[in-house]
A and B are shown apart, each in its own frame.
Chain A
Amino acid sequence: MTNLPKAAPAEGLPHTAQATEAKPQWIENLLKSWNSFWFEPTTPVAMAIFRIFFGIILLENMLVHLLPDFDLYYGKNSLVPINDMMSLYWHSSYYFDLMAALPADDKYIYGAFWVMVAATVMMTLGLCTRVSSWVTFLLLMSFGAHFQLNQNAGDNYLRLATMCLALSNAGDAFSLDNLIRATRQDWRKTGFGARLSAPWAQRLLQIQICIAYGHTWYSKMEGKMWNDGTAVYYAVRYDDLMRFPIPHIFDQLPIYMILTWGTLAIEFALFTFIWWRPTRYWVMAAGLSLHLGIEYCMNLPMFEWSFMLTYLLFIYPEDLTKSWNWLKAKIKDRFGEPYRLAFDGSCILCVRTIGLIHRLDIFGRIKPLDFTDKDNDAELDEVKLDRARAQSEILLQKRDGNWLGGFKAFRFISLRTPLLWPLTPVLFVPIVSFFAELMYKAIAANRKLILGSPSEVRQ
C-alpha cells in the first residue's frame, strides 16, 4: 500500500489528533472489561455440556410430563381449545404459535410435537445444533402459547435457556457437528481443542439466572413469613407440591428459621457473590444444597435441575479442564496406561479416523502414535512394532504386548470407549465382524486412493 502524505488540517480547525481527547483510564478499563466479559473468545465446552444435560431435561419434560396428557392440553378437544385460548388468554397480544397457523387438526399438533422431540434429540446430540436448537425453541414457544395454563416459571426458564442455546456456539464441542467437522480436518494441524468463540449467549444465560435469583430474593424480602423465619415451614407443607416430609428431628422452629433466612442469604449470594471468583464455587455449592433441599421436599418437575444445570456455565474453563484431567488421571490409575495405537501418518484417511477415535475417547484410553513420525521411533521400537504389518492396518498393543490389527483393533477400542458402547455389541455379531473385516481390508488396501496423502489434500 502506498504511503500517502497526511493532509494538513484546515485552517482554523484543530488537528484531528488534538481533537480526540484520550478517554479517562477508568472508562478504558470499563470498556475493556465489558468487551472481555461479552466477547473475549472462550471455549464452548461449558455451554456444550449444558446443552447435553439441558436437552435431556427438555426430553424428560416432553415425554414424561406433556405426552401422557397431550390431548388434554393440546388436542382439538383440549380443556381450552385454541380458539378460546386466543380469545380469552391471548387477547390482542401477539403470540408465536406455529400450530395455530396450521389447519386445526390433531395430526398437525402431534406432528409438531414429534418434530420438537426430534429437534431436541438432535440438539442434545449436537447434530445440526444451530437449526435444531432454533426449531426446539420455536416449538417450545408455540406449545407454551397453545395452552398457557400448564406453564409455570420452570417452563419459562426452559424457553429462555433454549433461546440462549440457539444463540450460542454450544454445538462447537461434544457434538456430532464437531465430529463431522473434525473428519474433514488434519488434527495434527488444527489440534483437538474446541473452536473458541464470543460467549455472549452464555453470559446472557448467566445474567438471566441472576435476575431470577435477584427477583425471587427481593419478592421474598417483602414477605412477612420470610422475615419472621417461618416461610420454609409452610413451603414444605404445601400439599400440591409436597414430595418427602422434613425428618421429624429437624421439624423445629429454630431449624426452620435457619432454613428460611439461609435461603434468603444463599439467594442473595447467587446474584452477587457468584461473580466474585474467590466465592464463586462456595456460592454454587450453597445453591446446589438449596436446590437439592427443595427437590427433596417439593415436587417441582425439572425446575430445580434446570437451575442447577445452569451453574455449569459459571465454572471457569481452566477448572473444567483441570477436573477432566483429574478424572482421566484417576481412570489411568485404575485401568493402567493408555493403549498404544500405531497408524500411518502419511495416509489422510488414517489420520482422520484416528482423530475421530481420539475425540470419542473422552477418558484418554488410547494413545495414537504415528509410525511415520521420527519422534515416535524410539517408543515404537521399544515395544517392537511390526512396521511392515503397520503399513497394511492400524495396530493396537494389548497389555500382554501382542498387537491387534485392523477391525479387531477397532472392536477392542470400542470396548474401552464409553461413547462407542452402543456400537460394541453389534461389532461382536459374527456375520457383522466378518463383513466389517473384509470392508476394513478393502478400505485399508486402497486408503491412499480414497483421500490421498496429507500433502495432496486440501485443508
Chain B
Amino acid sequence: MTATVFKILLLVAVFVAVLSATYPKQHAAIEEEKANNYDNTLMREVLRTQKNYQDATNNPASSTDQRLAAGNAYAATLSSQQRFEEAAKIYQDQLALTWGLVNNAYNQKWADANMHLAGAHRNLDNQPAALVCYDSVLKHDQEFLPANDPRIARDLNNVGLMHYLIATGKAEPADRKNEFKTSRDYLEQALALLEKNNQGSSAKAAATLWNLVLTCRDLDDKNASQNYKLRAQAIDKSLNRVCREP
C-alpha cells in the first residue's frame, strides 16, 4: 500500500514539476504573441495611421505634403489588411488633392497618386480601371517629360501589362489576339525606350522582357517568345537574380 501511494505521489510530482516549469514559458509565449501578433500589430497600425490621416485632413493648417504622406501611410496599411477599396478611395482623394498643384507642367505628385490608384485597382482585380490610370499617367508623362525619359518606358510597360491581363480574360479569340497585339506593341516600345536610355540590361528591361515572353507566347509567336526569354534570363543571370519562369 505504501509503495503504491509512493508511486502515485511520484507521478503527481512529475506532473506538477513539468507543468509548473512549462507554464511560465507558456504564459510568456501567449503574452509575446499578443504583443507581436501580425494581425493585432497591423490593426494598431491601421488605427494609428487612420488617426494621423484624419488629423491631417481635418487640420486646415496641414500642408499638402503632410496630407499626402498621411494618406499614403493609411492606404498602405489598409492594403496590408486587404482593404483595397478603402485604399483606392484614399488615392482617389489624393488625385483631386494633387491635380491643381501644377499647371501646364509635369505633376509628379499627381502621377504618383495615379500610380497608387492603379495599384489598388489591380489588387481589386479591376484591370480596366487600372489601365485607365496607367494610361492617363502615360499621356501626362508623354506630354510633359522629355520624349526619351525612362519613366515613359515604365508607363508603357504598365499599360502593356494591363492589356495583357485584360486579354487573358477575353472569351473571344479575336478579342484576345487584339489585346495581346496591343500589349506587345506597348511592351516593345517600352523596351526600345529603355535601350535608348542604355537600360537594355537593367532589371526594368528584364521585367518588360518577361512580359513580352508571355505576350508573344500567347500570340503563338514562339520564336520571339524564346528570344525574349533568353534575353530576360541573361539579364537575370548577370544580376544574380533567381527568377521563376512564368
* Contacts of A76-124 to chain B: CB distance below 8 A: 82-84, 86-88, 90-92, 94-98, 100-101
Give the interface segment out of B14-22, B90-98, B107-115, B218-226: B14-22
Minimum Cβ distance to chain A for residue B62 (Å): 40
Q: Which of B21, B32, B33 contacts A101 (CB 8 A)?
A: B21
Q: Chain A at the B interface: mostly helix, strand, loop or mixed?
A: helix
A343 interface contact, C-beta 8 A: no
Asked if residues B19 and A88 are in contact (CB atoms below 8 Å), the reply is no
Asked if residues B33 and A87 are in contact (CB atoms below 8 Å), the reply is yes
User: Chain A residues near B26 (CB, 8 Å)?
Assistant: 86-87, 90, 92, 95, 100
How many angstroms between the C-alpha atoms of A88 and B25 in the bound complex? 13
Chain A positions 134 through 164: 1 when the CB is less than 8 Å from some CB of chain B, otherwise 0: 1000100000000000000000000000000
How many angstroms between the C-alpha atoms of A84 and B32 in the bound complex? 10
Minimum Cβ distance to chain A for residue B205 (Å): 38
Number of interface residues of A (CB under 8 A): 18
How many angstroms between the C-alpha atoms of A82 and B22 in the bound complex? 11
User: Chain A residues near B17 (CB, 8 Å)?
Assistant: 101
Given A94-B23, A134-B11, does the pair A86, B29 have CB atoms closer than 8 Å?
yes
How many angstroms between the C-alpha atoms of A252 and B166 in the bound complex? 47
Q: Chain B CB within 10 Å — which of A84, A86, A90 has the most?
A: A86
User: Chain A residues near B30 (CB, 8 Å)?
Assistant: 86-87, 91-92
Q: Which of A83, A95, A96 contacts B32 (CB 8 A)?
A: A83
How many angstroms between the C-alpha atoms of A398 and B26 in the bound complex? 68
Asked if residues B11 and A87 are in contact (CB atoms below 8 Å), the reply is no
How many angstroms between the C-alpha atoms of A138 and B25 in the bound complex? 19
Q: Chain B CB within 10 Å — which of A90, A95, A97, A101 has the most?
A: A101
User: Chain A residues near B33 (CB, 8 Å)?
Assistant: 83-84, 87-88
Given A86-B26, A100-B25, does the pair A94, B19 have CB atoms closer than 8 Å?
yes
Minimum Cβ distance to chain B for residue A93 (Å): 9
Chain B positions 16 through 52: 1 when the CB is less than 8 Å from some CB of chain A, otherwise 0: 0111011101100110111000000000000000000
User: Chain B residues near A83 (CB, 8 Å)?
Assistant: 25, 29, 32-33
How many angstroms between the C-alpha atoms of A154 and B29 in the bound complex? 29
Summed over the interface, the residue pairs from A and B with CB atoms below 8 Å come to a total of 44
How many angstroms between the C-alpha atoms of A96 and B13 in the bound complex? 12
Measured CB to CB, the nearest residue on chain B to A166 is B11
User: Chain B residues near A90 (CB, 8 Å)?
Assistant: 26
User: Chain B residues near A91 (CB, 8 Å)?
Assistant: 30
Given A87-B30, A87-B32, A91-B30, does the pair A101, B22 have CB atoms closer than 8 Å?
yes
User: Chain B residues near A96 (CB, 8 Å)?
Assistant: 15, 18-19, 22
User: Chain A residues near B25 (CB, 8 Å)?
Assistant: 83, 86, 100-101
Minimum Cβ distance to chain B for residue A3 (Å): 29
Measured CB to CB, the nearest residue on chain B to A101 is B21
Q: Which of A82, A88, A100, A138 contacts B14 (CB 8 A)?
A: A138
How many angstroms between the C-alpha atoms of A82 and B32 in the bound complex? 13
How many angstroms between the C-alpha atoms of A71 and B29 in the bound complex? 21
How many angstroms between the C-alpha atoms of A91 and B27 in the bound complex? 9
Asked if residues A95 and B22 are in contact (CB atoms below 8 Å), the reply is yes
User: Chain A residues near B34 (CB, 8 Å)?
Assistant: 87
Asked if residues A87 and B15 are in contact (CB atoms below 8 Å), the reply is no
Measured CB to CB, the nearest residue on chain B to A95 is B22
How many angstroms between the C-alpha atoms of A94 and B34 in the bound complex? 19
How many angstroms between the C-alpha atoms of A86 and B34 in the bound complex? 12
User: Chain A residues near B23 (CB, 8 Å)?
Assistant: 94
User: Chain A residues near B15 (CB, 8 Å)?
Assistant: 96
User: Chain B residues near A101 (CB, 8 Å)?
Assistant: 17-18, 21-22, 25
Asked if residues A98 and B32 are in contact (CB atoms below 8 Å), the reply is no
How many angstroms between the C-alpha atoms of A211 and B161 in the bound complex? 61
User: Chain A residues near B21 (CB, 8 Å)?
Assistant: 100-101
Given A83-B32, A87-B29, A92-B30, does the pair A100, B22 have CB atoms closer than 8 Å?
yes
User: Chain B residues near A100 (CB, 8 Å)?
Assistant: 21-22, 25-26
Minimum Cβ distance to chain A for residue B3 (Å): 11
Measured CB to CB, the nearest residue on chain A to B11 is A134
Measured CB to CB, the nearest residue on chain A to B20 is A101
User: Chain B residues near A138 (CB, 8 Å)?
Assistant: 14
How many angstroms between the C-alpha atoms of A254 and B205 in the bound complex? 64
User: Chain B residues near A88 (CB, 8 Å)?
Assistant: 33
User: Chain B residues near A94 (CB, 8 Å)?
Assistant: 19, 23
Measured CB to CB, the nearest residue on chain A to B37 is A87
Q: Chain A CB within 10 Å — which of B18, B25, B33 has the most?
A: B18
Measured CB to CB, the nearest residue on chain A to B30 is A87
How many angstroms between the C-alpha atoms of A86 and B14 in the bound complex? 20
Minimum Cβ distance to chain B for residue A338 (Å): 40
How many angstroms between the C-alpha atoms of A84 and B19 in the bound complex? 18
How many angstroms between the C-alpha atoms of A100 and B19 in the bound complex? 9
Minimum Cβ distance to chain B for residue A165 (Å): 15
How many angstroms between the C-alpha atoms of A92 and B30 in the bound complex? 8
Please name 15 pairs of A and B residues whose Cβ atoms are closer than 8 Å in the assembled complex, sorted by A: A83-B25, A83-B32, A83-B33, A84-B29, A86-B26, A87-B30, A87-B33, A90-B26, A95-B22, A96-B15, A96-B22, A97-B22, A98-B18, A100-B25, A101-B25
Task: Give residues in A with beta carbon < 8 Å to B.
Answer: 82-84, 86-88, 90-92, 94-98, 100-101, 134, 138
Per CB-CB distance, the 7 closest pairs between chain A and chain B, nearest first, are A87-B33, A101-B21, A86-B29, A83-B29, A87-B29, A86-B26, A100-B22
Given contacts A94-B23, A95-B26, 19 further A-B contacts (CB under 8 A): A83-B29, A83-B33, A84-B29, A84-B33, A87-B26, A87-B30, A87-B34, A90-B26, A91-B30, A92-B26, A97-B18, A97-B22, A98-B18, A100-B21, A100-B25, A101-B18, A101-B21, A101-B22, A138-B14
Task: Give residues in B with beta carbon < 8 Å to A.
Answer: 11, 14-15, 17-19, 21-23, 25-26, 29-30, 32-34
